[in-house]
Amino acid sequence: MHGFGCGGLALLALLPLTACAQDLWCGKVYTAGTPEIIPGGRLEPPKPSTTPLLDLQVTPRHSIYVGSEEKAEFIVDATLSYIHGTPYLLAVPNGTYGGNASDILFFTIETEGRVLVSDTIVVNKTNKLLEFDLAQLTPRMSAYQIDLSATSRLDESKYTVSTELFFLPDKTVGSVVKVDNLYGSLLYRNEATRGSFKPVFPYGFYADYSGYLNVSNANVEAYASKGFNAINPVADFTDGNMTLTIDRMDELNLLFQYDMRNSFQNLTSVAEQVPLVKDHPSLLTWYTADEPDGWVYNLNSTKLTYDLLVSLDKYHPTALVLNCQNYYYAEYSSGADIIMEDAYPVGINATYSRKWNTPVNETYGDAGCDNCVGSLLDVPYRIDDLYSYQKWIGGAAARKPIWAVPQAFSGESYWERDPTPAEVWVMDMLAFNHGAKGRFAWIYPPSDMLVGAASQLAQVVTVSPVMDFLTGANPVFVQDDKHGLDVSYWSLGAQVLVGIVNPRNTTASPVQINLPDAFTGLQVESEPWGEVGWSLDGSSLIADNSLAGLATSYVLLN
């Protein structure tokens, strides 16, 4: 992926030859002398309503539950919105309530005539968790339709919304992986977890299979020894028998994403591959389309494969990566539970293609990073864009997790140099600050220097305490207008993790980050990552010294 040979991708030998017949990337022509085509496919924000809407949603906390589990939860949202929902007559145009009292909805959640939950929610409240007993249901492969019926306390207006709940028979062989829809993180269970679901923050690389992993299992072992807990071998069983490699990953509990980029559009082939993979203990996720928006694959291609995978294996989620900044996002993203982005900004010329000798803009050309400016901030900008698109689509899409695919390579006349170690850390931590719930860089093995840099951070973000925050909370962004720092925090019980990134090459001094007043009284417990030194004055986090360009830091408050 990830790089673009004839319009696309590094490691050209990994690509199907038919991919090179095109001269479009993200719907744009990129070869000199080719007439410009204005690409369509832009997802635009929905036209806002002139009056507030009630966007009532009910979502299972986990994407699946299995027969050995006793309890489950629903997430209920009663958001006031101007783009999704049904008319809410008790709100005035600025989104506040008429009268003096806040409205409350009385609601029940039921399935097939059986009430699972009865409760109330204040209008404009989100993420209300409601536990129920799974003993009321029988595990089965088909989904339960879940219906929420609500009544307004103030005017007795009625509202209804539906979703699906998967309560599956227990799986006794291999792994089971689910998405936590509250935080976007993954929970997995296999022999290594002793039957319990454990959170995981996947941190690793796409890895060359034929030229590296398949050479010797010693390479698999060396990879795992660096602290990487997940891997995406760039191959599938149509390329050869991967059993020995996967068996070793099982033994190491090295979680893998199974990559069908070269075969996912052949549904017969996909159906033949699934039984070879689905019962391995180290299977984390399926991976189907690699930059389908860049290659301009059929708009329904990802959804067709996704529907087939769900019919064959409901115990693992599906991921894909999108390369374009905004090209038929709704259509391509409908074919996955996890959306990955791969903005590669290091060493590019964002306005002129050295490879094709053409200008690059929003409607023409290919610079190696679609609609980028050539800054490390292109990574969080892209993640923010994708989360915005998902909110525009609404419903279940609004909760889909996003993973980052940062750059760990150079070449192909697009990227003049590799990222530095500091730039690797900046891109990773910017992604995490903006809500990325996993990370697979392109591609392994990179230079020894980049392996070492990624290994250092892997050994922090994949284990407690940092992993607990990244998987068990959502980041809250903190605005820093003075120095242009990128700051987010995660709250977990009485503790707070603060992520600080200086994304620029200029030193910031003095540095004072104003956190919420509620943090007054906390103390700096440790700095799990970085060498800055911090103290807390009231609710202000203050650096002991200046913050160097491209500095990164995690600070744990207690």
CATH of residue 542: 2.60.40.1180
Residues 155 and 253 in one domain: no
| 386: Cβ contacts below 8 Å, ≥ 6 apart | 322, 329, 339, 341, 402
Number of domains in the chain: 3
Q: What is the pLDDT of residue 102?
A: 82
Q: Give the residue-averaged pLDDT of 305-312.
A: 98
Residues 136 and 151 in one domain: yes
- Number of other CB atoms surrounding residue 548 within 10 Å: 16
Single residue among 142, 168, 194 that ends a domain in this structure: 168
Is the pLDDT score of 364 beyond 60? Answer: yes
Is the pLDDT score of 21 beyond 80? Answer: no
Taking only the tens place, the pLDDT of each residue in 204-236 is: 999 999 999 999 999 999 999 999 999 999 999
Residue of 248, 245, 251, 423 lying closest to 259 (CA atoms): 245
Is 13 domain-assigned? no
pLDDT band at 91 (very low <50, low <70, confident <90, very high): low
Q: What is the pLDDT of residue 312?
A: 98
For the whole model, what pTM was predicted?
0.95
State how far the Cα of 445 lies from the Cα of 291, in Å rounded to an integer.
Answer: 21
Is 305 domain-assigned? yes
pLDDT band at 97 (very low <50, low <70, confident <90, very high): low
Single residue among 115, 144, 168 that ends a domain in this structure: 168
Q: What is the pLDDT of residue 100?
A: 44
Is the pLDDT score of 5 beyond 70? Answer: no
**What CATH number did the domain enclosing 135 receive?**
2.60.40.1940
Residues 143 and 199 in one domain: no
| 191: Cβ contacts below 8 Å, ≥ 6 apart | 281
Distance of CA 387 to the CA centre of its chain: 9
The SS3 of residue 95 is coil
Residues 467 and 525 in one domain: no
Q: What is the pLDDT of residue 2?
A: 38
Q: What is the pLDDT of residue 172?
A: 93
Q: Give the residue-averaged pLDDT of 482-495.
A: 95
| 85: Cβ contacts below 8 Å, ≥ 6 apart | 53, 54, 55, 56, 79
Taking only the tens place, the pLDDT of each residue in 111-165 is: 999 999 999 999 999 999 999 999 999 999 999 999 999 999 999 999 999 999 9
Long-range contacts of 117-123 (CB under 8 A, 24+ apart): 117/74, 119/76, 121/76, 121/78, 121/150, 122/78, 123/54, 123/78, 123/80, 123/88, 123/90, 123/97, 123/152
Tokens of 37: 């085509």
Residues 468 and 498 in one domain: no
Contact of 315 with 309, CB cutoff 8 Å:
no
Residues 482 and 456 in one domain: no
Is 351 domain-assigned? no
Tokens of 18: 């038919």
Residues 312 and 228 in one domain: yes
Tokens of 504: 């620029």
| Residue where the block lists tokens 């296999």 | 190
DSSP 192: G
Q: In one letter, which amino acid is 436?
A: A
Taking only the tens place, the pLDDT of each residue in 272-283 is: 999 999 999 999
State how far the Cα of 379 lies from the Cα of 385, in Å rounded to an integer.
Answer: 10
State how far the Cα of 250 lies from the Cα of 503, in Å rounded to an integer.
Answer: 38
State how far the Cα of 549 lies from the Cα of 508, in Å rounded to an integer.
Answer: 7
Residues 443 and 486 in one domain: no
**What CATH number did the domain enclosing 450 receive?**
3.20.20.80
Is the pLDDT score of 18 beyond 50? Answer: no
pLDDT averaged over the chain? 94
State how far the Cα of 316 lies from the Cα of 339, in Å rounded to an integer.
Answer: 15
Q: What is the pLDDT of residue 481?
A: 76
Q: What is the pLDDT of residue 482?
A: 82
The SS3 of residue 511 is coil
| 381: Cβ contacts below 8 Å, ≥ 6 apart | 343
Is the pLDDT score of 4 beyond 80? Answer: no
Residues 146 and 201 in one domain: no
Is 12 domain-assigned? no
Q: Which domain holds residue 501?
A: 476-557
Taking only the tens place, the pLDDT of each residue in 323-337 is: 999 999 999 999 999
Contact of 406 with 427, CB cutoff 8 Å:
yes
pLDDT band at 265 (very low <50, low <70, confident <90, very high): very high
Residues 144 and 163 in one domain: yes
- Number of other CB atoms surrounding residue 460 within 10 Å: 16
Q: What is the pLDDT of residue 425?
A: 98
State how far the Cα of 204 lies from the Cα of 206, in Å rounded to an integer.
Answer: 7
Is the pLDDT score of 511 beyond 70? Answer: yes
Question: Is the peptide bond preceding residue 443 cis, with omega within 30 degrees of 0?
Answer: yes
Single residue among 143, 168, 193 that ends a domain in this structure: 168
Is the pLDDT score of 99 beyond 50? Answer: no
pLDDT band at 167 (very low <50, low <70, confident <90, very high): very high
pLDDT band at 17 (very low <50, low <70, confident <90, very high): very low
The SS3 of residue 202 is coil
φ and ψ at 168, to 5 degrees?
Answer: -95, 155
Taking only the tens place, the pLDDT of each residue in 231-255 is: 999 999 999 999 999 999 999 999 9
Is 402 domain-assigned? yes
Residue of 135, 158, 133 lying closest to 147 (CA atoms): 158
Contact of 150 with 125, CB cutoff 8 Å:
no
Contact of 471 with 435, CB cutoff 8 Å:
no
Q: What is the pLDDT of residue 8?
A: 38
Is 3 domain-assigned? no
| Residue where the block lists tokens 């996947």 | 202
Is the pLDDT score of 201 beyond 80? Answer: yes
Is 37 domain-assigned? no
| 340: Cβ contacts below 8 Å, ≥ 6 apart | 319, 320, 321, 322, 402, 403, 404, 405, 438, 440
Distance of CA 103 to the CA centre of its chain: 34
Is 364 domain-assigned? no
Higher-confidence position of 35 and 346: 346
State how far the Cα of 390 lies from the Cα of 399, in Å rounded to an integer.
Answer: 8
pLDDT band at 16 (very low <50, low <70, confident <90, very high): very low
Contact of 466 with 552, CB cutoff 8 Å:
no
Residues 490 and 449 in one domain: no
Q: What is the pLDDT of residue 137?
A: 98
Residues 481 and 459 in one domain: no
Is the pLDDT score of 76 beyond 50? Answer: yes
